[in-house]
Amino acid sequence: MSRTPSTRVLRLFGLGSRAESRRVADILRAETVGGALLLAGALLGMLWANSPWAHGYEALRSFEVGPAALHLRLDLATWAADGLLAVFFFVAGLELKREFTAGDLRDPRRAAVPVAAAVGGVLVPAVAYLVTTSLAGAADAGRGWAIPTATDIAFALAVLAVIGRHLPAALRTFLLTLAVVDDLLAIVIIAVFYTEHLAPLPLLGAAVPLAVFSLLVRRGVRAWWLLLPLAALTWALVHASGVHATVAGVLLGFAVPARGDATVAEHFEHRFRPLSAGAAVPVFAFLSAGVTIGGVDGLGRALTDPVAVGVVAGLVLGKPLGVMAATWLVSRLTHAELDENLAWVDVAGLAVLAGIGFTVSLLVGELAFGAGSARDAYVKIAVLAGSLTAALLAAVVLRLRDNVYRRIEQAQAGQAVTDS
């Protein structure tokens, strides 16, 4: 059996046998593990950036590698944001394609409630951010309006998996659908609002390897040595065009067919999810979340900055308000209905959980204010603070609900024993 990309990368780190590499890859597919690695990467970056060896962290971030052709001479922080996150968005694109063709998003009536929740969870946080920064008189803050609009799939699902062992499966489906649509909206926002200089020729050129890639995968070709160069060329040309290179990951993911019993999309998602969860996202978090706080005084200055206040307000207040309001409106004004297994308090806990906006929020912050700028540093602290607050608040609500469902399960089990 040929080695897959995920096991091949794992063996580079000393995991010698194929069986051992497969076991590690299976572990990395677990939502709790992916979320833990994401958090660990961010904490490690924060600790290093605030240690006596902080200059080493900055030297690592700014170290440049790559050829000058197609503007690929980039520092490691940019490689993480543009290159590694393309893997994350490729997996997201595969998941989006599968949901649209064979999953919950295929049935409009079934998908209407979580899709509306996702839209509300994008619009209201943006409004909350703009209102907050306007009241604070920060006229130059408008460019960051999209920072609190994204829900981090890996982090949110990891929290739900840890605290919600007895919660209805419908709650996870709701969150997954919301987060998937949220990602799609975030991708559109990045492509439309954060592309400053567009070079048409490289963008048109990217269509050629993308078309060949699409043709091959539609014919069932899975050979990495043939598909990977085409994907890399597509990414490089999109990067050279001025459009954020992560968009290439989504386009490649959407090019993969997702119909049938054993789809190519499922195959690729199975193979590349360990790379995304175990390497791409944690390394991005490590290289992006590290910001010098400057002690208690520095933390106070950061969290009182109008942009930081707007980000926290968007994540902690805007997200749950938008998700709940949109869910209630669409369930009352249309034929769409909330899943019968869910109570409104369950949705409220999930709406708070949707305020975890980590990976894409950090990326948008860099695009909005420039990587390494003072305001970007404040954004990072605000995203971390807002996401942690949302996670803790959601954990309280969902843990209480989990206990309720656990007691119901125990009562039903006891009743079944009595009846027998």
pLDDT digits (tens, 9 = 90+) for 334-363: 877 787 888 999 999 999 999 998 888 999
Q: Which two tokens stand for residue 132?
A: 């907050």
Output 203 or 22, whichever has higher pLDDT.
Answer: 203
What count of other Cβ atoms lies within 10 Å of the Cβ of residue 357? 29
What region does 2 belong to: left with phi over 0, alpha with psi -120 to 50, or beta? beta
Of 314 and 271, the structure prediction assigns the larger pLDDT to 314
Reduced to 3 states (helix: H, G, I; strand: E, B; else coil), residue 189 is: helix
User: Is the predicted pLDDT of residue 12 greater than 80, yes or no?
Assistant: no
- pLDDT classification of 413: cutoffs 50, 70, 90: confident
Q: What is the rounded distance in angstroms from the CA atom of residue 384 to the CA atom of residue 288?
A: 11
What does the mean pLDDT of the chain come to?
A: 87
**Residue 9 has what pLDDT?**
53
Give the whole-angstrom CA distance, residue 409 versus residue 44: 40
* CA–CA distance, 229 with 238 (Å, rounded to integer): 14
Q: What is the DSSP string of 236-266?
A: HHHHHHTS-THHHHHHHHHHS---SSS-HHH
Residue 65 belongs to what H/E stretch?
strand 64-65
Q: Could you report the per-residue pLDDT of 280-327, keeping only the tens digit for each?
A: 989 998 998 888 887 888 888 888 999 999 999 999 999 999 999 999
pLDDT tier at 3, thresholds 50, 70, 90? low
Distance CA 416, CA 407 (A): 14
Checking if the pLDDT of 10 tops 60, the result is: no
pLDDT tens for residues 119-144? 999 999 999 999 999 998 887 899 99
pLDDT band at 210 (very low <50, low <70, confident <90, very high): very high
Other residues' Cβ atoms within 10 Å of the Cβ of residue 7: 22
**Range in 45-59, 152-166, 236-250, 366-380 the model is least confident about:** 152-166
Regarding predicted confidence, which is higher, 280 or 183? 280
Residue 1's pLDDT is 44
The shares of helix, strand and coil residues in the chain, as percent rounded to the nearest 5, are 80, 0, 20
pLDDT at 261: 55
Question: By percentage, how much of the chain surpasses pLDDT 90?
Answer: 47
CA angle at 176 for the pair 175 and 179, rounded to the nearest 5°: 85
Asked whether 201 and 255 are in contact (CB, 8 A), the reply is: no
Please report the pLDDT score of residue 195 as a whole number. Answer: 84
pLDDT tens column, 60-96: 999 999 988 878 999 999 999 899 989 988 988 888 7
Torsion (CA) 41, 45, 51, 54 in degrees, nearest 10 = 140
Distance of alpha carbon 67 from alpha carbon 287, whole angstroms: 21
Query: Which residues lie below 8 Å from residue 206, measured CB to CB, with a gap of 6+?
Result: 233, 234, 237, 238, 241, 248
